[in-house]
Structure 1
Amino acid sequence: MLLSLFIKLGPWSWWVIGLVLLAAELLVPGVFLVWVGLAAIIVGALSLLLWESAFWVWQLQALIFAALAVIAAILGRRYVYNNRYASDEPFLNQRSAGLVGRTATLQEPITEGRGRIRLDDTFWSVMGPDLPAGTQVRIVASNGRDLTVEPV
Protein backbone atom coordinates (compact mmCIF):
# COMPACT_ATOMS: atom_id res chain seq x y z
CA MET A 1 0.00 0.00 0.00
CA LEU A 2 2.74 2.46 0.90
CA LEU A 3 4.70 1.52 -2.20
CA SER A 4 1.69 2.19 -4.44
CA LEU A 5 1.15 5.54 -2.68
CA PHE A 6 4.82 6.38 -3.13
CA ILE A 7 4.64 5.53 -6.85
CA LYS A 8 1.38 7.45 -7.29
CA LEU A 9 2.69 10.61 -5.61
CA GLY A 10 6.05 10.46 -7.36
CA PRO A 11 8.45 13.20 -6.29
CA TRP A 12 5.79 14.68 -4.02
CA SER A 13 6.01 11.71 -1.68
CA TRP A 14 9.19 13.17 -0.13
CA TRP A 15 7.34 16.42 0.47
CA VAL A 16 4.53 14.54 2.21
CA ILE A 17 7.04 12.64 4.37
CA GLY A 18 8.80 15.90 5.24
CA LEU A 19 5.58 17.66 6.19
CA VAL A 20 4.45 14.68 8.28
CA LEU A 21 7.78 14.76 10.14
CA LEU A 22 7.46 18.50 10.71
CA ALA A 23 3.93 18.01 12.03
CA ALA A 24 5.15 15.17 14.26
CA GLU A 25 7.59 17.62 15.86
CA LEU A 26 4.57 19.38 17.34
CA LEU A 27 3.55 16.16 19.09
CA VAL A 28 7.04 15.03 20.08
CA PRO A 29 8.97 18.19 20.95
CA GLY A 30 12.71 18.01 21.06
CA VAL A 31 13.84 19.80 17.87
CA PHE A 32 14.97 16.61 16.19
CA LEU A 33 12.25 15.74 13.72
CA VAL A 34 12.54 19.24 12.27
CA TRP A 35 15.94 18.40 10.83
CA VAL A 36 14.86 15.00 9.51
CA GLY A 37 11.77 16.61 7.96
CA LEU A 38 13.97 19.26 6.37
CA ALA A 39 16.13 16.52 4.86
CA ALA A 40 13.02 14.88 3.36
CA ILE A 41 11.90 18.19 1.86
CA ILE A 42 15.35 18.72 0.32
CA VAL A 43 15.19 15.23 -1.24
CA GLY A 44 11.70 16.15 -2.45
CA ALA A 45 13.06 19.29 -4.13
CA LEU A 46 15.81 17.24 -5.76
CA SER A 47 13.22 14.68 -6.84
CA LEU A 48 11.20 17.36 -8.60
CA LEU A 49 14.27 18.20 -10.66
CA LEU A 50 15.65 14.69 -11.23
CA TRP A 51 12.57 12.40 -11.22
CA GLU A 52 12.84 11.47 -14.88
CA SER A 53 16.59 10.75 -14.68
CA ALA A 54 17.62 7.11 -14.92
CA PHE A 55 20.08 7.33 -12.04
CA TRP A 56 17.49 8.77 -9.60
CA VAL A 57 16.39 5.43 -8.18
CA TRP A 58 14.82 4.94 -4.75
CA GLN A 59 18.05 3.54 -3.31
CA LEU A 60 19.94 6.72 -4.17
CA GLN A 61 17.09 8.82 -2.79
CA ALA A 62 17.18 6.87 0.48
CA LEU A 63 20.96 7.27 0.78
CA ILE A 64 20.77 11.00 0.13
CA PHE A 65 17.92 11.31 2.63
CA ALA A 66 19.89 9.43 5.31
CA ALA A 67 23.02 11.51 4.73
CA LEU A 68 21.09 14.79 4.73
CA ALA A 69 19.20 13.79 7.89
CA VAL A 70 22.47 13.17 9.74
CA ILE A 71 24.07 16.37 8.43
CA ALA A 72 20.98 18.44 9.18
CA ALA A 73 20.70 17.01 12.71
CA ILE A 74 24.36 17.78 13.46
CA LEU A 75 24.24 21.29 12.00
CA GLY A 76 20.85 21.97 13.55
CA ARG A 77 22.01 20.93 17.00
CA ARG A 78 25.09 23.13 16.68
CA TYR A 79 22.92 26.05 15.55
CA VAL A 80 20.42 25.64 18.38
CA TYR A 81 23.05 25.33 21.12
CA ASN A 82 25.19 28.21 19.82
CA ASN A 83 22.22 30.58 19.58
CA ARG A 84 20.83 30.23 23.08
CA TYR A 85 19.78 33.51 24.56
CA ALA A 86 20.95 34.77 27.92
CA SER A 87 18.42 34.32 30.66
CA ASP A 88 17.23 37.27 32.72
CA GLU A 89 17.19 34.89 35.71
CA PRO A 90 20.45 32.91 35.40
CA PHE A 91 20.28 31.54 38.98
CA LEU A 92 16.58 30.66 38.94
CA ASN A 93 17.06 27.05 40.08
CA GLN A 94 20.44 27.63 41.74
CA ARG A 95 19.52 29.58 44.83
CA SER A 96 22.90 29.27 46.53
CA ALA A 97 24.76 30.51 43.43
CA GLY A 98 22.62 33.65 43.49
CA LEU A 99 23.89 34.44 46.98
CA VAL A 100 27.51 34.96 45.91
CA GLY A 101 28.55 38.54 46.61
CA ARG A 102 26.05 39.13 49.43
CA THR A 103 27.12 39.96 52.96
CA ALA A 104 25.72 38.51 56.15
CA THR A 105 26.40 38.25 59.88
CA LEU A 106 27.59 34.96 61.36
CA GLN A 107 24.89 33.45 63.57
CA GLU A 108 27.21 30.71 64.83
CA PRO A 109 31.00 31.06 64.92
CA ILE A 110 33.10 29.36 62.29
CA THR A 111 35.11 26.73 64.14
CA GLU A 112 37.23 24.15 62.39
CA GLY A 113 36.17 25.72 59.09
CA ARG A 114 32.35 25.34 59.57
CA GLY A 115 29.67 27.76 60.77
CA ARG A 116 26.21 29.15 59.97
CA ILE A 117 24.70 32.38 58.72
CA ARG A 118 21.14 33.52 58.26
CA LEU A 119 20.09 35.11 54.99
CA ASP A 120 16.51 36.24 54.62
CA ASP A 121 14.55 33.38 56.20
CA THR A 122 17.07 30.56 55.74
CA PHE A 123 20.07 29.31 57.72
CA TRP A 124 23.03 28.36 55.56
CA SER A 125 26.10 26.26 56.36
CA VAL A 126 29.26 28.19 55.64
CA MET A 127 32.91 27.31 55.28
CA GLY A 128 35.80 29.65 55.84
CA PRO A 129 38.46 30.78 58.30
CA ASP A 130 37.65 30.54 62.02
CA LEU A 131 35.68 33.66 63.01
CA PRO A 132 33.55 34.58 66.04
CA ALA A 133 29.74 34.91 65.89
CA GLY A 134 28.56 38.38 64.86
CA THR A 135 31.33 38.87 62.29
CA GLN A 136 30.30 40.38 58.95
CA VAL A 137 31.22 38.02 56.10
CA ARG A 138 30.91 38.10 52.32
CA ILE A 139 29.87 35.02 50.36
CA VAL A 140 32.55 34.29 47.77
CA ALA A 141 31.48 30.88 46.40
CA SER A 142 28.76 28.27 46.60
CA ASN A 143 29.04 24.51 46.43
CA GLY A 144 25.61 22.93 46.63
CA ARG A 145 24.25 23.81 50.06
CA ASP A 146 27.58 25.03 51.47
CA LEU A 147 28.69 28.60 51.06
CA THR A 148 32.29 29.78 51.28
CA VAL A 149 32.73 33.07 53.12
CA GLU A 150 35.49 35.49 54.01
CA PRO A 151 35.49 38.39 56.48
CA VAL A 152 34.44 41.77 55.09
Structure 2
Amino acid sequence: MELLLDPPFWAWFVLAGILLILELMTGTFYLLWPAAAAGLTGLATRAPFTPSGAGEWLLFAVLTVVLTLAARAMGLKRRPSPDDTRPFNRADSRVGQHARAIAAFEAGRGRVRLGDTDWQARSPVPVAAGDDVVITDVDGSVLVVAPAGTQTQ
Protein backbone atom coordinates (compact mmCIF):
# COMPACT_ATOMS: atom_id res chain seq x y z
CA MET A 1 0.00 0.00 0.00
CA GLU A 2 2.89 2.31 0.71
CA LEU A 3 4.02 1.79 -2.88
CA LEU A 4 0.79 3.44 -4.07
CA LEU A 5 0.74 6.24 -1.50
CA ASP A 6 4.39 7.26 -1.81
CA PRO A 7 5.83 5.57 -4.89
CA PRO A 8 9.62 5.50 -5.35
CA PHE A 9 11.09 7.17 -8.42
CA TRP A 10 11.45 3.89 -10.33
CA ALA A 11 7.72 3.15 -9.97
CA TRP A 12 6.99 6.23 -12.10
CA PHE A 13 9.24 4.88 -14.86
CA VAL A 14 7.53 1.49 -14.66
CA LEU A 15 4.15 3.22 -14.97
CA ALA A 16 5.46 5.24 -17.93
CA GLY A 17 6.70 2.05 -19.61
CA ILE A 18 3.39 0.26 -19.10
CA LEU A 19 1.46 3.23 -20.48
CA LEU A 20 3.79 3.43 -23.50
CA ILE A 21 3.33 -0.27 -24.22
CA LEU A 22 -0.45 0.13 -24.01
CA GLU A 23 -0.23 3.17 -26.29
CA LEU A 24 1.76 1.22 -28.85
CA MET A 25 -0.80 -1.58 -28.72
CA THR A 26 -3.75 0.77 -29.26
CA GLY A 27 -2.21 3.60 -31.29
CA THR A 28 -4.72 6.13 -30.00
CA PHE A 29 -2.49 8.94 -28.60
CA TYR A 30 -4.64 8.85 -25.44
CA LEU A 31 -1.99 7.18 -23.27
CA LEU A 32 1.05 8.94 -24.72
CA TRP A 33 0.67 12.05 -22.61
CA PRO A 34 0.06 10.27 -19.28
CA ALA A 35 3.13 8.13 -20.08
CA ALA A 36 5.22 11.26 -20.64
CA ALA A 37 3.80 12.78 -17.46
CA ALA A 38 4.73 9.65 -15.47
CA GLY A 39 8.28 9.82 -16.81
CA LEU A 40 8.59 13.50 -15.96
CA THR A 41 7.17 12.85 -12.50
CA GLY A 42 9.80 10.15 -12.00
CA LEU A 43 12.51 12.63 -12.97
CA ALA A 44 11.02 15.30 -10.71
CA THR A 45 11.09 13.00 -7.69
CA ARG A 46 14.89 12.82 -7.99
CA ALA A 47 15.23 16.61 -7.69
CA PRO A 48 15.62 18.25 -4.30
CA PHE A 49 12.56 19.82 -2.66
CA THR A 50 9.97 17.84 -4.60
CA PRO A 51 6.63 16.82 -3.20
CA SER A 52 6.11 13.29 -2.01
CA GLY A 53 3.08 11.10 -1.49
CA ALA A 54 -0.08 12.79 -2.67
CA GLY A 55 1.98 15.68 -4.05
CA GLU A 56 3.57 13.33 -6.59
CA TRP A 57 0.15 12.18 -7.76
CA LEU A 58 -0.98 15.80 -8.01
CA LEU A 59 2.14 16.62 -10.07
CA PHE A 60 1.39 13.62 -12.32
CA ALA A 61 -2.22 14.77 -12.82
CA VAL A 62 -1.22 18.36 -13.57
CA LEU A 63 1.49 17.27 -16.00
CA THR A 64 -0.94 14.94 -17.77
CA VAL A 65 -3.47 17.74 -18.27
CA VAL A 66 -0.82 20.28 -19.33
CA LEU A 67 0.84 17.91 -21.81
CA THR A 68 -2.49 16.84 -23.28
CA LEU A 69 -3.68 20.40 -23.75
CA ALA A 70 -0.32 21.48 -25.19
CA ALA A 71 -0.34 18.61 -27.66
CA ARG A 72 -3.87 19.42 -28.76
CA ALA A 73 -2.96 23.10 -29.17
CA MET A 74 0.00 22.12 -31.35
CA GLY A 75 -2.18 19.85 -33.44
CA LEU A 76 -0.62 16.60 -32.24
CA LYS A 77 -3.85 14.70 -32.08
CA ARG A 78 -5.10 11.80 -34.08
CA ARG A 79 -6.61 12.98 -37.33
CA PRO A 80 -8.74 10.82 -39.55
CA SER A 81 -6.68 9.46 -42.40
CA PRO A 82 -7.56 10.89 -45.80
CA ASP A 83 -9.20 8.73 -48.42
CA ASP A 84 -6.77 6.57 -50.31
CA THR A 85 -6.32 8.29 -53.65
CA ARG A 86 -3.61 6.03 -55.04
CA PRO A 87 -4.91 4.89 -58.44
CA PHE A 88 -4.14 1.20 -57.99
CA ASN A 89 -5.56 1.00 -54.47
CA ARG A 90 -9.05 2.23 -55.25
CA ALA A 91 -11.63 -0.52 -55.45
CA ASP A 92 -13.12 0.73 -58.73
CA SER A 93 -9.72 0.31 -60.40
CA ARG A 94 -10.43 -3.42 -60.47
CA VAL A 95 -13.56 -3.02 -62.60
CA GLY A 96 -12.96 -4.44 -66.06
CA GLN A 97 -10.08 -6.67 -65.02
CA HIS A 98 -10.14 -10.39 -65.76
CA ALA A 99 -9.98 -13.03 -63.04
CA ARG A 100 -10.31 -16.81 -62.90
CA ALA A 101 -12.86 -18.71 -60.80
CA ILE A 102 -11.14 -20.94 -58.27
CA ALA A 103 -14.16 -23.20 -57.78
CA ALA A 104 -17.73 -23.37 -59.02
CA PHE A 105 -19.95 -20.69 -57.52
CA GLU A 106 -22.63 -21.95 -55.15
CA ALA A 107 -25.77 -19.85 -54.69
CA GLY A 108 -24.12 -17.10 -56.72
CA ARG A 109 -21.09 -16.86 -54.43
CA GLY A 110 -17.54 -18.11 -54.82
CA ARG A 111 -13.89 -17.15 -55.00
CA VAL A 112 -11.80 -15.82 -57.86
CA ARG A 113 -8.07 -15.26 -58.31
CA LEU A 114 -7.06 -11.79 -59.44
CA GLY A 115 -3.32 -11.53 -59.89
CA ASP A 116 -1.83 -13.33 -56.91
CA THR A 117 -4.78 -12.76 -54.56
CA ASP A 118 -7.94 -14.76 -53.94
CA TRP A 119 -11.10 -12.67 -53.58
CA GLN A 120 -14.66 -13.36 -52.52
CA ALA A 121 -16.96 -12.88 -55.47
CA ARG A 122 -20.59 -13.08 -56.46
CA SER A 123 -22.25 -13.47 -59.81
CA PRO A 124 -25.87 -13.29 -60.95
CA VAL A 125 -25.18 -16.10 -63.44
CA PRO A 126 -23.61 -19.53 -62.81
CA VAL A 127 -19.80 -19.66 -62.90
CA ALA A 128 -17.88 -22.93 -63.15
CA ALA A 129 -14.42 -23.67 -61.75
CA GLY A 130 -11.70 -22.32 -64.02
CA ASP A 131 -14.01 -19.93 -65.90
CA ASP A 132 -12.57 -16.60 -66.97
CA VAL A 133 -14.65 -13.79 -65.43
CA VAL A 134 -14.68 -10.02 -65.73
CA ILE A 135 -15.12 -7.78 -62.70
CA THR A 136 -18.19 -5.61 -63.22
CA ASP A 137 -18.43 -3.96 -59.80
CA VAL A 138 -16.93 -3.97 -56.31
CA ASP A 139 -19.08 -4.20 -53.18
CA GLY A 140 -16.80 -3.60 -50.20
CA SER A 141 -14.29 -6.45 -50.42
CA VAL A 142 -16.52 -8.63 -52.63
CA LEU A 143 -16.02 -8.56 -56.39
CA VAL A 144 -19.13 -8.70 -58.58
CA VAL A 145 -18.23 -10.73 -61.64
CA ALA A 146 -19.75 -11.99 -64.89
CA PRO A 147 -18.43 -14.68 -67.24
CA ALA A 148 -15.98 -13.13 -69.71
CA GLY A 149 -18.09 -14.13 -72.73
CA THR A 150 -21.15 -12.18 -71.48
CA GLN A 151 -19.27 -8.97 -70.68
CA THR A 152 -18.98 -6.32 -73.38
CA GLN A 153 -16.09 -3.93 -73.11
TM tier relative to shorter chain: 0.3 to 0.5
* Greater helix content: 1
TM-score, normalising length: structure 1:
0.46
TM-score with structure 2 setting the length: 0.45
Largest Rg, 1 or 2: 1
